[in-house]
Every structure is written in structure tokens, then in C-alpha cells.
Amino acid sequence: MTLWFWIHFFSFLIYIFLFAFVLGKNFRNYLNLLVAGLIFCFALWSFGNAMMFNNFSTIKSSKIMLKIASPGWIFFSAFYLLFIFEFTEKPDISRNKKFIFLIFLLPALFYLFNIFNQFIDCCDETFYGYTGIWKNIIWVKLFYVYYIFSFLLGIFLLIKYTKETKNIIKKRTSFILMNTMIFCFIAGSLTSVIMKETKNYVPIEANIFLIVFAFGIVYAMFKYQFLSITPYKATESILNTIDEGIILLNNEGQVKNTNYIINKIFESNEENIKENEQLKQIIYDRLEILKYKSIINEEIEVTVSDNNKKVILLSANLLKENKENIGYLFIIREITELKDTKIELERTIKKLKDSNKELERFAYIASHDLKEPLRMVSSYIELLAKRFKNKIDDEANDFINYAVSGTERMNKLINNLLEYAKFLRDEIEIENVNVKDVLDEVLQILKFKIEFMKANVKIVSDMPVIKVNRLEILRVFQNLIDNALKFNEGLPVIEIDAFKNEKEYVFFIKDNGIGIKKENKDKIFEIFQKLNYSRKYEGNGIGLATCKKIIEKYNGKIWVESEEDGGGSIFYFSIPEQSG
């Protein structure tokens, strides 16, 4: 093996190491992928030369190696241009799929011609091995033009970018890349083109000099972190993952940058979003306003395509640095679905309110109209009982008593239903109510029942003042305390207490009664829901339903914790601090 083999082989290993290093830094970053592609081209070129520049290669093997190495020296100019466009912050070009296709189309044609031996003949034998011979045809000349044009365009873009950018890190990086590439172009053109054309072969070709360019990239990466995940790159990635569209404008109002969501909202792409007439009009109409005040959550309807209307929420602000205007920031969020959902929800709520009003009206009218025929039935049954009390047998008397009892229960049920409907329909007066005063009044109302049952009723702690309707909260406490007395088979012990929980007051009534089965804890708050065991207790299943309706008026909740078989119950209800 010759010295020249080892030189090219070691250059191949260096390129492979740099290839892995660049991808290892951030393999998801587009710029890193372009650099890795560029370095891989250099690696192929070096590997092919290593396999030809030695004392064991043959004509046959050299032909194969020329085919393996050719993608390296044919395609590297395309990767180089894409890298320069991306580095100089022209993503609308470097990431444009059509441009990428076009920039690789010509090298692909060159490679196709090379496959069919229309580029290089194999081979001239030299003192260091075999080397290819450029053909004197139009395709080779066109390749030279393409190669020189790619280099000059890249250098022009780097010079222009170095002058324009205010980022000192990118300015220095651009300077390193520009100088290393100029050196590689001059040295590589001399050894791989000019000297080969004149058949003055040398064993050191452009692929060796390009190590300088590759190391220039890696040095800049180490020195200035331009291929790593920098705050700038991280910010760019974040902007493309958030739900809001972002538009950055310069001081003249020209769009400089947008994120993916903006393209999605306006059904556009990176190439033409800046020329979108709808977007330009939105921006233009608000630039003058932004000089005096910010725009926050302005709702705008836009037509992005034929019959496709969207609703957006726009916020915008003027950007300043050292008290000087440097540009504008627009944040746009699409709320079309949210707006449609809100409209549909409002319609549904209105329908429910109308339906509830009709049901409440029906309940009131039905229960009111039932009273008259029931009064007539009750009157005639009472008349029968008085007139024929001693004239009929005991069984007939029992039937009449059952009928009287039934009409009395029916009358109570209708009265309770009327009262329930009244709570739903009546306009109520909201005031500051001292709960302690309400409890005193309730205990006074239930005084006879409490004394008769020898119940022990305790108000444990001080009660708050809440903003409610006094009659309604009195009815809640009366129903709950009355139930605690009613559903008890011993001497009732009842505790009433309250505590503050975040932004609400929670009240509870604890008893030692018969308890409630787990499966019935929700049922008891439904209207007319009487539990099986409660048949021996008077009541019609409206009291707790009324309590639930009242509490829910104030955006509160009511629930129960209980153990059956005499374990007692604790009824809780909450009232928000700023209720009413």
C-alpha cells in the first residue's frame, strides 16, 4: 500500500467521523442534515481515490471505484448550495421542495451520464495508481460551469450575509466558511480539473483540500455553536409547535418570518404566505394603530378560499429596543370551531331554558287545575262518611276512610308540587342573610316536633353571612333538619355546622338516623323518589328535590355521606361566597 492510499483513506475516516459528529450534535436539525450530506459526499470521493491510488488496484477495480466515488464529486455542490441558503437564513428557498428537486436534478443527470461512461474514461496509470480522464464533451464543460457557478453563488451569498447580519456569531462563522471555501475551490480546481485536463496528474485532489472546509464548519460549530441546539434554534422550534400563528415584521411592515400555524390558518405555504392578500390587508390596516396602542384579542372574519370563512383572534404589538421601533409582532389564533360551538351552545341553552319554562308552567297549571276536581271528590267522600257512618258495615267504613286518607295525601302532594313549581318560577330577592338567624327561625318552627321526639339539636360553630334569598335558604335548612328528625328510630342527635372552603361556604347537617343505602345517595334528590323503607314515614319525595333546585340556583352543590343500618347521615351543601 502506498502513502497516497493512506492519505486518502485517513481522509475518508476523518470525514466519516465528522459525519457522525455533526449528526450526533442534532440529527433533527435541517442544517445539520445538510452538513452531514455534504461531508458524506467528501467521504465517498476520498474512499474511491484511496481504492485507486495504490499498488493493488486494477483497471477493472478502478472502473468500479470511479462509479462509487462519482456521487461524491457530482452531488456535493448541491448540498453546498442548500447549506449556504439555509445558513444565510433563506429557508423559503432551502426548504422549498421544488427548489430542492431542481437543484438535485442537474447533478442527477450528470451522474446518469457518468454511469454510461459519458463523463470520465478509465483510466490513466500513474506512479501512484490509476486516475480517471475527463472526456472532451459538452456534458463535462457544462459540469465545470455548474461547479463554478455553485461556488460563486455560495461565496456571493456569504459575503452579502456577512455585511447584512447584525449577529456577530453568524458574521464570524460566515467569514470562516467563506475563506475555507475559497481556499478549497482554488486548490481543488487546480489539482482535480486544470492539471487533469493537461494530464499533469498529482496524487492530492480536491477531496483532501475539502478537509479544510469540513474542519472550518466543525470549528465554527465548536466556537459559535451554530449547529447545536442554541436558544435561537430552540425558539424557532417552539414557534413552530405552539397553537398560535406568529408573524414577525420589520419596521417597514414587511413580513420577515412566520410559523407553520400561519400557513395552516391561511391555507398557504412558506413560498407564498408573504404575498397572501388577505394577510397583507389585515397587517396594513393595523400598522398605524400599533404606533399608539396594542391590539388584544380582536375578532376578525377572513375568507381564505372560495366559501371557506374562518374566525380568527388577533393580538399585535410594536417591538422596541432602546426606545426605537424595530418591528411588529402579530399573534393569530383560529377560533372558528370554538365560535361555532359557542353559537350552538347558546342555541341549546336557549332551547333548554324555553323547555324548562314550559315544563314549570305546565307543572304549575296542572297542579293548580287538579285542586278543584280533587276538592270536589274530597267533599263528596266526606259527605258520604258523615251521612252513612252508622248505616253501613265496618268494611264499608274502612273503604271510606281509605278514600279520605287518599284524597288528603293527594291534596298534600299537589300543594307540594305547587310550591316546588313556585320556587322555579318566582323572581326572588337576594340579600345578605345571617345563617344563624335563619337557623333560629327553623328551630322555632320545628320546636314542637323537636320537644316531642326529645331531640338534641346543636349549632356547633358560628354561622356566616351569605348572599341568598332568605326564604329559600330557610326552606333548605327546614327540609334537612325535618328529615333528620323524621328518619330516626331513637332519640335524634343532630349537629349543624359550616366551614369555609376556598371560595365557598359548606354547610352540613349530621344525624344519627337510619342511614341511606349507597345506591340511593343520588336518587333521593330526584323529585318523587321515595325509598322503599320510607313508606312507613310520611312524605312525598319533593323536599330534597326542592333543596337541590334551590342550591343549584346559586351554583352550589348538595350531596350526602351515609352508612345504612343506623349509621346516620351527613347532608352537605355549598354556597359560593359571592352567590346570588
Give yes or no: residues 140 and 197 share one domain: yes
pLDDT attached to residue 553: 85
Per-residue pLDDT tens over the stretch 418-445: 666 666 555 568 899 999 999 999 999 8
Q: Are residues 324 and 452 in the same domain?
A: no
pLDDT category, 464, cuts 50, 70, 90? very high
297: buried, middle or exposed (CB in 10 Å: 19+, 13-18, 0-12)?
A: exposed
368 pLDDT tier (thresholds 50, 70, 90): low
Residue 538 pLDDT = 64
Q: Are residues 380 and 497 located together in one domain of the fold? A: no
Domain end position, chosen among 205, 228, 251? 228
**Same domain flag for 348 and 216:** no
Beta-strand pair 120-126/569-576: unpaired
Q: What is the CATH number of the domain that holds 321?
A: 3.30.450.20
| pLDDT of res. 579 | 61
Please tell me whether residues 42 and 167 are part of one structural domain. Answer: yes
Whether 441 and 375 map to the same domain: the answer is: no
> How many domains does the chain divide into?
4
Among the ranges given (69-83, 291-305, 492-506), the one the predictor scored with the smallest mean pLDDT: 291-305
Q: Do 124 and 167 fall into the same domain?
A: yes
What's the pLDDT at 129?
79
User: Are 202 and 276 members of one domain?
Assistant: no
Residues 385 and 325 in one domain: no
| Range 202-231 average pLDDT | 70
- End of a domain among 310, 334, 358? 334
Q: ∠ CA(13), CA(18), CA(22), 5° rounding? A: 155
We report the CATH number of the domain holding residue 475 as: 3.30.565.10
pLDDT of residue 532: 47
390 vs 570, more confident: 570
Q: Flag whether 235 is in a domain.
A: no
Predicted local distance difference test score (pLDDT) of residue 433:
93
The answer to whether 265 touches 312, Cβ cutoff 8 Å, is yes
User: Residue 224 belongs to what domain range?
Assistant: 3-228
Segment 437-454 shows an average pLDDT of 91
Q: What is the CATH number of the domain that holds 206?
A: 1.20.1070.10
pLDDT at 514: 87
Q: At which residue does the C-alpha cell 404575498 appear?
A: 275
Q: Is residue 233 part of a domain?
A: no
70 and 180 share a domain?
yes
Q: What is the pLDDT of residue 8?
A: 84
**Residue 499 banded pLDDT, cuts 50, 70, 90:** very high
Q: Which helix (H) or strand (E) holds 449?
A: helix 447-452
Residues 341-363 pLDDT 10s: 888 888 888 888 777 666 666 66
Q: Higher-confidence residue: 538 or 28?
A: 28
Cell triple for residue 259? 410559523
pLDDT tens sequence across 271-284: 677 788 888 888 88
Of 315, 334, 353, which one is at a domain's C-terminal end?
334
* Shared domain check, 511 and 384: no
Q: Are residues 167 and 309 in the same domain?
A: no
Q: Sorting pLDDT into bands at 50, 70 and 90, what band is 511?
A: very high
Task: Compute φ and ψ for 302, nearest 5 degrees.
Answer: -125, 150
